Amino acid sequence: MKSLLKSIQNWFNDHVFKRVVRNSFYLIISNLISVFLTVYITRLLGVYDYGVLGIITSYVTNINKFFSFRMNEMVVRFVSEAYEQRNLAKAGALIKFAAVIETVTSLAAFSFLVITAKFGARIFLDDAALSGSIIFYGLTILTGIAMETANGVLRVINRYRAIAIVSLIQNVLVAILVLIAAKAGLGLKAILFAYFFGKMILGIAPVILDLAWLPGFLGKKWWKAPLSLITNKKEILKFTVSTNISSTINLFARDGEVLWIGALLSPLYAGYYKTAMTVINMVLTPINPFIDTTYPEIMRAIVNRKWNRIKRLLSKVTLVSFSWTAGTFIGLLFFGKILLFHPVNFFGYSFQIFSTDFLPSFQIIMILMGGYGIANILFWNRTLLLAFSKAGYATDVSFYAMLIKVFGTIVLVPRGPYITESILLSAYLAGSVIIMTFYGLLLLHRSIQKETEVLREPYQTKHKGR
């Protein structure tokens, strides 16, 4: 009993783990509001219109991702290193470099969206008239023109609370707009405007916060740091291209599910998938923030060659993610259908999360829990590889897994049952995550082994001389 209490105490005495949990908690609260808001919107719109909303937002988001170089990851990877080494001028130059790249790619993304909006509306929505709604929501690409860079900077300077507060404020404002729309009897366009307003806040606020805080961290003239201070531009560009390819792979293999279903089946089935993903996001919500908060800690440990710190951190966060994911899976398996799709009486009050019209989503939910469950437990798989500068390996694994998955989608989904796509996605996630996890742990083991040998050499030399 004493050893158990001591073990628990050691967990909470670990300052790195405590910082990760604290920073994650801020983000979890905000994400929970977003999840419950999404559930309310499903009831407000119904299956078909919810599918249309999902296709519009997914189309815009995925085009943005296609052009995105994930500058938040680049900032955490390279600015963290310069900042930890107190090379503040270089850190400023790197931030400026990232912002320029993101601005150019955002302008390219919006231009491409405008050109393809009518085509997208016709293919995915069977209604070219909805191209105007796509372009309207696409304006969020411009309002978030440097959002990734700004969010990466906030993570480097450990301002997770600010990220969470911004997210919380936008979720509350979106909720107010949605409630007003519901009371006024407004439909899809009003909800789309609420989403647009929320995305606009998420895009602009982090940039304003960076401009306010960076002078205190990097000096008042940080933005004047010349780009010539960046001597490893080739390495950075290779990293960003690799992460862009990885993002594009995810677009086809994972993030474009609603679009695939809209094109190959119909917006109705897209509504079922969008609903299933709403539930999956409920499961992912408590763990997703750990991805953003764990990466900077791993980077700090690697810069300072604290290999065992990484090992301890991964062990602890994995136990947390496993406990939550396994518990949720068991709960959904035994009680999910009743709790999610049927009225539940609780102390005289009756409530229902989704109407029975959404019931076909349940099979999709349980199948996706397999792949997303493994990805949720081992959420740090890609993060660990990025920290070891192995973004290329992660990209290769994802690429070949994506080819198999997309081939299966095109061939099997139009001919098979509506759950076919969920089976393919679950297999893709489980397979790629397990492979990347194994290689990342192998790299960590080699680093620990190498460090041990280096420390052992002086001792062995000393004793040989005796």
Stretch among 82-91, 272-281, 386-395 having the lowest mean pLDDT? 386-395
Give the residue numbers spanning the domain of 418. Answer: 267-466
Contact 155, 292 (CB under 8 A): yes
Same domain, 274 and 419: yes
CA quadruple 263, 148, 36, 110: dihedral positive or negative? negative
Q: How confident is the model at residue 337 (pLDDT cuts 50, 70, 90)?
A: very high
441 is a domain residue: yes
Q: Are residues 296 and 186 in the same domain?
A: no
pTM (global) more than 0.85: no
pLDDT at 458 over 60: no
Q: Name the DSSP class of 353.
A: S
pLDDT at 463 over 60: no
What is the DSSP secondary structure assignment for residue 231, as one 8-state letter? Answer: -
Whole-number Å distance between alpha carbons of 202 and 219:
26
Residue 347 pLDDT greater than 90, yes or no: no
pLDDT at 290 over 80: no
Query: Is 248 inside a domain boundary?
Result: no
Q: Do 199 and 332 contact (CB within 8 A), yes or no?
A: no
Question: Do 211 and 292 lie in a common domain?
Answer: no
Read off the amino acid at residue 10.
N
Q: Report the percent of the chain where pLDDT is more than 70.
A: 91
Distance CA 364, CA 399 (A): 24
**Residue 226 sits in the same domain as residue 278:** no
> Ranked by mean pLDDT, which of 63-77, 121-135, 245-259, 269-283 comes out on top?
121-135
Average pLDDT, the chain: 88
β-sheet bridge partners, residue 346:
349
Number of domains into which the chain is organized: 2
- Clarify whether residues 304 and 221 are in a common domain: no
Give the pLDDT of residue 348. 66
Which tens digits make up the pLDDT trace of 192-225?
999 999 999 999 999 999 999 999 999 999 999 9
Residue 299 lies in a domain: yes
Alpha-carbon gap, residue 5 to 168, rounded angstroms: 35
Q: Is residue 119 part of a domain?
A: yes
463 & 366 share domain:
yes
Mean pLDDT of 399-412: 96
Residues 452 and 267: their CA atoms lie apart, in Å, by: 57
Q: Which of 100, 206, 85, 90 is nearest to 154 (CA)?
A: 206
Mean pLDDT in residue range 42-71: 92
Whether residues 399 and 455 share a domain: the answer is: yes
What pLDDT score does 181 carry? 92
Do 293 and 414 lie in one domain? The reply is yes
252 in any annotated domain: no
| More confidently predicted of 114 and 463 | 114
Q: Using one digit for the tens of pLDDT, what is the confidence trace for 181-197?
A: 988 888 899 999 999 99
Give the relative orientation of helices 47-67 and 188-218 as an angle to the nearest 10 degrees. Answer: 30
Instruction: Specify the higher pLDDT residue, 461 or 27.
Output: 27
Same-domain status, 309 and 224: no
| Neighbour tally for 125: CB within 10 Å | 24
pLDDT tens for each residue of 93-102: 999 999 999 9
In the listed set 181, 207, 231, which residue is the last one of a domain according to the structure? 231
Q: Lowest-pLDDT range, 2-6, 87-91, 251-255?
A: 2-6
Q: Are residues 97 and 150 in the same domain?
A: yes
Same domain, 192 and 286: no
Which range, 69-78, 253-262, 421-430, is most confident?
421-430
The single-letter DSSP state of residue 4 is H
| Candidate ranges 16-30, 39-53, 64-78, 125-139; pick with highest mean pLDDT | 125-139
- pLDDT confidence bin for 425, thresholds 50/70/90: very high
Share of the chain above pLDDT 90, in %: 55
Judge whether 303 lies within some domain: yes
Q: Is residue 388 part of a domain?
A: yes
Determine, yes or no, domain membership for 406. Answer: yes
Regarding whether 445 and 296 lie in a shared domain, the answer is yes
